[in-house]
């Protein structure tokens, strides 16, 4: 018996990206037919382009559906079709930069991001303060979104109350009733709460709650500013004491109480650091106990 096996093709949206071959350092920017490494590189880039095209076709196109049209304006809520630009240029009236865009029904994208993430993306060049601020507002809205909607919470509370109506009118003590009700409420709310994948992996895999290649030092500049202003304001006879409500840590040194503030640390810094400016002092110095 003859059997034909046809391997089913897996779309690139369901596969992982293939890493590129090593760059041929001997022929940078060239394609030498006789060089194996050059050809490998060339073939990979050909495949890259086809793959990006297919991912964009499968996931970045907008198709208007019933829910996306705004009946008031009879237009698409996602603002499709978008304007196209034959070439990158500056809008003469607003001065905004319009990047080259050929497809009215595609989200903006970047080839490499599409190739690596293999899904729908929306990559935008943020060139104005307003655009950056609204993007930050949009993202923080997502991050700080309460996991439970208010109406869901009330619904949960109502359900727990209804389920326990008999128990509540029974003759258990008030203390016991409250205790049981609270436990049930907390359990139900926990079940209802959805958490994002990054948060779940944070707990399960012990990841950090943020990613950065920097370490930061917090620095409250107001007390330093007050201290510096004092020199001028005191000479003008203004009452600056009210403004100077700095926090002072009181420490016991040799049975004496001593007020310690970061401002004083800087003012009375060792004389070898006389030339050190405040910025350097903050980010370079650490405070340790002697001995
Ligand atoms: Zn080569
Ligand atoms: Zn639409």
* Helix (H), strand (E), coil (C) string for the chain: CCCCCCCCCCCHHHCCCCCCCCCCHHHCCCCCCCCHHHHHHHHHHHHHHHHHHHHHHHHHECCCCHHHEECCCCEECCCCCCCCECCCEECCCCCCEECCECCCCECCCCHHHHHHHCCCCCCCCCCCHHHHHHHHHHHHHHHHCCCCCHHHHHHHHHHHHHHCHHHHHCCCCHHHHHHHHHHHHHHHHHHHCCCCHHHHHHHHCCCCCCCCCCCCCCCCCHHHHHHHHHHHHHHCCCCCHHHCCCCCEEEEECCEEEEECHHHHHHCCCHHHCCCCHHHHHHHCCCCCCC
CA of 91 to the centre of ligand 2 (A): 25
Q: Quote the domain boundaries for residue 273.
A: 245-291
Task: Please state the domain count of the chain.
Answer: 2
CA of 58 to the centre of ligand 2 (A): 16
* Structural domain contains residue 179: yes
User: 219 with 282: CB under 8 angstroms?
Assistant: yes
CA of 287 to the centre of ligand 2 (A): 58
Q: What is the pLDDT of residue 61?
A: 92
Give percent of the chain above pLDDT 90.
25
Q: What is the pLDDT of residue 138?
A: 83
User: 207 with 201: CB under 8 angstroms?
Assistant: yes
Give the residue, 49 or 290, on which the prediction is more confident: 49
Is residue 288 pLDDT above 90, yes or no? no
CA of 89 to the centre of ligand 2 (A): 27
d(CA 225, CA 238): 16
* Structural domain contains residue 189: yes
Mean pLDDT of 172-197: 85
Q: What is the pLDDT of residue 145?
A: 59
* Structural domain contains residue 25: no
* Structural domain contains residue 172: yes
Final residue belonging to a domain, choices 160, 177, 194: 194
* Structural domain contains residue 60: no
Which ligand gives the minimal distance to the CA of 65? 2
Q: What is the pLDDT of residue 9?
A: 87
CA of 244 to the centre of ligand 1 (A): 70
Mean pLDDT of 244-272: 78
Q: What is the pLDDT of residue 58?
A: 94
* Structural domain contains residue 218: no
CA of 74 to the centre of ligand 2 (A): 10
* Structural domain contains residue 18: no
d(CA 123, CA 110): 6
* Torsion 158-161-166-169 (CA) sign: negative
How far are the Cα atoms of 25, 44, 45, 106, 234 from residue 31, in angstroms, in the given order? 11, 13, 12, 32, 75
User: 119 with 109: CB under 8 angstroms?
Assistant: no
Final residue belonging to a domain, choices 163, 194, 225: 194
* Structural domain contains residue 269: yes
Is residue 239 pLDDT above 80, yes or no? no
Output the pTM of the full model: 0.49
* Torsion 116-117-123-129 (CA) sign: negative
Is residue 238 pLDDT above 70, yes or no? no
Give the residue, 238 or 74, on which the prediction is more confident: 74
Structure tokens at 291: 């001995």
């Amino acid at each position: 018996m003859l059997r034909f096996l046809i391997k089913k093709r897996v779309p690139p949206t369901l596969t992982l990206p293939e890493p590129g071959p090593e760059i041929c350092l001997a022929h940078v920017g060239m394609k030498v037919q006789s060089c194996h490494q050059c050809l490998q590189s060339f073939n990979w880039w050909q495949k890259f382009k086809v793959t990006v095209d297919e991912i964009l076709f499968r996931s970045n196109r907008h198709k208007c559906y019933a829910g996306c049209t705004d009946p008031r304006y009879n237009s698409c809520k996602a603002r499709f079709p978008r304007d196209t630009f034959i070439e990158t240029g500056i809008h003469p009236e607003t001065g905004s930069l319009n990047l080259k865009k050929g497809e009215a029904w595609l989200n903006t994208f970047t080839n490499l991001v599409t190739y690596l993430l293999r899904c729908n993306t929306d990559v935008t060049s943020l060139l104005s303060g307003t655009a950056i601020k609204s993007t930050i507002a949009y993202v923080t809205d997502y991050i700080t979104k309460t996991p439970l909607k208010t109406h869901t919470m009330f619904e949960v509370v109502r359900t727990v109350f209804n389920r326990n109506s008999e128990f509540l009118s029974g003759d258990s003590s008030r203390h016991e009733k409250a205790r049981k009700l609270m436990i049930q409420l907390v359990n139900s709310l926990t079940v209802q709460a959805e958490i994002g994948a990054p948060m779940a992996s944070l707990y399960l895999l012990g990841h950090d709650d943020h990613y950065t290649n920097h370490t930061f030092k917090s620095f409250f500049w107001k007390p330093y500013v007050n201290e510096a202003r004092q020199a001028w304001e005191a000479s003008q006879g203004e009452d600056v004491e009210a403004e100077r409500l700095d926090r002072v840590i009181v420490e016991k040194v040799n049975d004496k109480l001593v007020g310690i503030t970061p401002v004083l640390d800087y003012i009375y810094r060792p004389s070898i650091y006389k030339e050190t400016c405040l910025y350097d002092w903050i980010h370079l110095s650490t405070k340790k106990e002697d001995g």
